[in-house]
Amino acid sequence: MVLPKLKKIIKDIFYSLIWLLCWLLINCLYRIKSINNQNIPKKTGALIICNHVSYIDPLIISCSLKRPVRFFVQRDIYNNLFLNLFCRLLKAIPVCVKDKPKVIRKALETARTAVKSGELVCFFAEGSFTRTGNMLSFNKSFEFIMEDLNEPVIPMHIDKIWGSLFGFREGRFYWKLPKILPYPIIVYFGEPLPAGTKTDQVRAAIQEISAEAFKLRGKDQKKLHIAFIDETKKHPRKFCMADSSGLKLNYLQVLAMVVLFSKKIRQITVKPFDENEMVGILLPASCICAIINGAIMFAGKIPVNLNFTASKECLKSSVEQCRMNTIITSKQFIEKLGMESDRKMVFVEDILAGIKKFEKIIHIMLMLLMPAFLIKITYVKGDKIDVNDIATLIFSSGSTGCPKGVMLTHGNIFSNIEGLYLILNLIPGDIIMGVLPFFHSFGFTASLCFPLGAGIGVVYHTNPLDALTIGKLVKKHKTSIILGTPTFFGAYVKKCTAEQFKSIRYAMVGAEKMKRSISEAFFKKFGIIPFEGYGATELSPIVSLGIPDYINEKEGIKQVGFKQGTVGHPIPGIAVKIVDPETFAPLSCNKPGLLLVKGPNVMKGYLRQPLETKKVIKNGWYITGDIASIDEDGFICISDRLSRFSKIGGEMIPHIRIEEEIMDIMRVPEPFCAVTAVADEKKGEKLIVLCKKEVNIDKLYKLLSEKEIPRLWLPKKENFYAVDEIPILGSGKLDLKQIKKIAEDITAVNNI
């Protein structure tokens, strides 16, 4: 009797010593913040389902709880000479995907018995560490563990390990220097779920708490212009930006120019000490425009990039909504637009004329010699910490109505940049080709804030459809990342050469659904898959993005980051769900419905329109108005805008699907047609197709009628109309409002 007791005592002491060493190691390297620990049962059993990002996940979880936890562990780790004893002390459950079904079943039975007998068991449903930054598809085995049990399933998310010392960064898990010590991480426990909860529901719950955890990063985030100062001090002489005017600047030069411009802006604005004053910018994407955006923030004010492609009425409405007193623009630019000058306008040419050469030299020296904290104290006006302050106002595209002012905070945009940074495998020397205007939210975040905050270069051009110049700029600066819309990419296919795009390794497309013909033509010519993303102005704007697959043939690992026809996974920190458009009841995998989005990227609201804000944000979820589905692997497929469906004969008919079929027939990488609907006395609505004049409508109709599409989807031949051009917004989207008006005018004339 004495010997077994002695063995147990020795075992317990040994276990405690090892555990103490692990606890000390983890708490030296990481500062763990646990949220909602009360969701873990104090005595009864439960199955914890957690995301999987590193080898030390079990230690992190164990250090977050007061109860012992049994973990599923890869068999090769369990059998490791140095780890086996520790795994046995933790009563880990070894498992391997290559095991025979009987062996796997036995492991699951062990876990089931443990939960039933009152123990905590942790199951990593992804089965492997994520190498892409996205949450992987879930293994359904845990459904067997919990079948007919009364114990709960606890969803859990570990945030911020990705990219840390033991997280997967720079293509490896080990041998990386820590950025800071101790590194802050968040362990978030969700509400207990019933034992019978299905796999897709558990995955959705973990994704939702990941968004909640991401919101808690706010204390570690910085205002956008403050982050730029810190980035400049890391590499002052590194290439920062260039544009088609020939201007080329490093980070130090840009910071000096931002400081100089901020001084001038404080002098010319009507309310020099009003931190909430909105200052308009009426300029195309360029180095000067980027500098002015930063300078306005330095001056303690809010930059508002105005849509110079919008109608006079929309532009006037934007200025009035912002109660704007100052608009910074260029004499040359407004002359080109054919726009009259206004008393509110301040011209860049005049500001530059007031800056002497010796001032530039002095400020470059000051920015080089002064420490970051002193630059912030001396030259940054207003609050420097609160990321909930408004960073910019972006007006919605107005493709279906009057534009609304979307208030985006520093935290909204910073979280979007963080999520994008976590999934993009950036390498030294990466340069973005920034063709999107800054009045477009994708352009503001991805072409302005992202490169300057991530410490990479960017090249600007004033006209995103000027494919000839863009091709030359890509080749000249060897840009590696290009952003755009399907319309812009279609122009590049026609006019840019494969030699010019040789340096491009990543093409990101957004703003509207990518037509298959454009995607195929882009890949055929340049050998690059254009990865489609999805977003909205109100979401800062990126929600999801396709990324390259992670393939490691040596380890036999393949993690899918891209699926044809989808817009990728939600980027880290963002949760999505599909609901019934009428009842808002959640829908299961692969069922199309209304897409909702939650996360720290959701806008603060519409400017001075609280009722409109309440219509689109419910319990933290933003109602996108898009019809989509989510597959079992978490990939999002966008069907169409809810507003771009017609209800005919009791069936919802998607306009974009008809457009895709027509584009497939035409085999052209640009919009030659647009589908809309007008009122019809008999059926409520009828489909209208607008085509460019060079299209042979008889031939097109014949080929479309031979397609395998429902007959109800086929517009009548008499409802195909030729037009000079398909209306396109400055953002590259179809101008749906104008398209519908043209269709209504044409049909009204024909009905007379």
> In the prediction, which pLDDT does 342 show?
85
Give yes or no for a contact between 581 and 163, defined as CB atoms under 8 angstroms apart: no
Question: What residues are paired with 33 via a beta bridge?
Answer: 186
- What three-state secondary structure class fits 395? strand
Assign 577 a pLDDT band (cuts: 50, 70, 90). very high
pLDDT at 54 over 70: yes
pLDDT at 705 over 50: yes
In percent, how much of the chain has pLDDT > 90?
A: 38
> In the prediction, which pLDDT does 538 show?
93
Q: Where are the alpha helices (DSSP H) in 370-409?
A: 372-379
> In the prediction, which pLDDT does 155 show?
95
Q: Cα–Cα distance between 586 and 190 in angstroms, integer?
A: 18
**Average model confidence (pLDDT) across the chain:** 85
- What three-state secondary structure class fits 69? strand
pLDDT at 607 over 90: yes
pLDDT at 247 over 60: yes
Give yes or no for a contact between 515 and 466, defined as CB atoms under 8 angstroms apart: no
Give yes or no for a contact between 534 and 636, defined as CB atoms under 8 angstroms apart: yes
Give yes or no for a contact between 97 and 47, defined as CB atoms under 8 angstroms apart: no
- From start to end of 38-192, where are the E strands? 46-50, 69-74, 93-95, 120-123, 153-159, 183-189
pLDDT at 236 over 70: yes
- What three-state secondary structure class fits 55? coil
3-state secondary structure 110-127: HHHHHHHCCCEEEECCCC
Give yes or no for a contact between 669 and 489, defined as CB atoms under 8 angstroms apart: yes
Q: Cis omega (within 30 of 0) on the bond before 236?
A: no
Assign 226 a pLDDT band (cuts: 50, 70, 90). very high
Range of 27-36, 140-149, 171-180 with top mean pLDDT:
140-149
> In the prediction, which pLDDT does 400 show?
47
List C-alpha distances in Å: 489 to 496, 531, 616.
10, 12, 31
Structure confidence by residue, pLDDT tens digits, 366-402: 999 999 999 999 999 999 999 999 999 999 865 445 6
Query: Mean pLDDT, to the nearest integer, of 653-679?
Result: 78
Structure confidence by residue, pLDDT tens digits, 482-514: 988 888 888 899 899 999 999 999 999 887 777
Q: Cα–Cα distance between 341 and 343 in angstroms, integer?
A: 7
pLDDT at 461 over 90: yes
Q: How many CA atoms lie within 13 A of 636 on its CB side?
A: 31
Residue ranges and CATH numbers for the domains of the chain are 29-220 (3.40.1130.10), 224-630 (3.40.50.12780), 655-750 (3.30.300.30)
Of the two residues 451 and 752, the one the predictor is more confident about is: 451
Of the two residues 243 and 56, the one the predictor is more confident about is: 243
pLDDT at 180 over 50: yes
> In the prediction, which pLDDT does 365 show?
94
Query: Mean pLDDT, to the nearest integer, of 699-724?
Result: 82
> In the prediction, which pLDDT does 432 show?
95
In percent, how much of the chain has pLDDT > 70?
A: 90
Of the two residues 748 and 141, the one the predictor is more confident about is: 141
Long-range contacts of 347-353 (CB under 8 A, 24+ apart): 348/283, 348/288, 348/292, 351/261, 351/264, 351/268
pLDDT at 273 over 70: no
> In the prediction, which pLDDT does 8 show?
65
> In the prediction, which pLDDT does 340 show?
84
Structure confidence by residue, pLDDT tens digits, 197-220: 999 899 999 999 999 988 888 777
Query: Mean pLDDT, to the nearest integer, of 213-231?
Result: 89
Lowest mean pLDDT among 396-405, 525-534, 728-737: 396-405
Question: What residues are paired with 596 via a beta bridge?
Answer: 577, 623
pLDDT at 299 over 70: yes
pLDDT at 730 over 70: no
Of the two residues 403 and 242, the one the predictor is more confident about is: 242
pLDDT at 276 over 90: no
> In the prediction, which pLDDT does 669 show?
62
pLDDT at 73 over 90: no
Lowest mean pLDDT among 15-24, 194-203, 347-356, 441-450: 15-24
CA neighbor of 252 nearest in space, from 372, 354, 350 = 372
pLDDT at 666 over 80: no
Assign 14 a pLDDT band (cuts: 50, 70, 90). low
Radius of gyration of the chain (CA): 28
Structure confidence by residue, pLDDT tens digits, 559-568: 888 888 889 9
> In the prediction, which pLDDT does 4 show?
66
> In the prediction, which pLDDT does 126 show?
85
Query: Mean pLDDT, to the nearest integer, of 259-270?
Result: 88
> In the prediction, which pLDDT does 487 show?
81
Within 8 A by CB and 6+ apart from 678, the residues are: 685, 686, 688, 740, 743, 744, 747
pLDDT at 48 over 50: yes
Assign 601 a pLDDT band (cuts: 50, 70, 90). very high
Instruction: Quickly list DSSP for 507-559.
Output: EEE-SSPPPHHHHHHHHHHHS--EEEEEE-GGGSSEEEE--PPEEETTTTEEE
List C-alpha distances in Å: 636 to 192, 207, 394, 443.
26, 14, 25, 22
> In the prediction, which pLDDT does 578 show?
94
pLDDT at 1 over 90: no
What is the helix (H) or strand (E) element at residue 346, kind and residue range? strand 345-347
Which amino acid is residue 379, in one-letter code?
A: Y
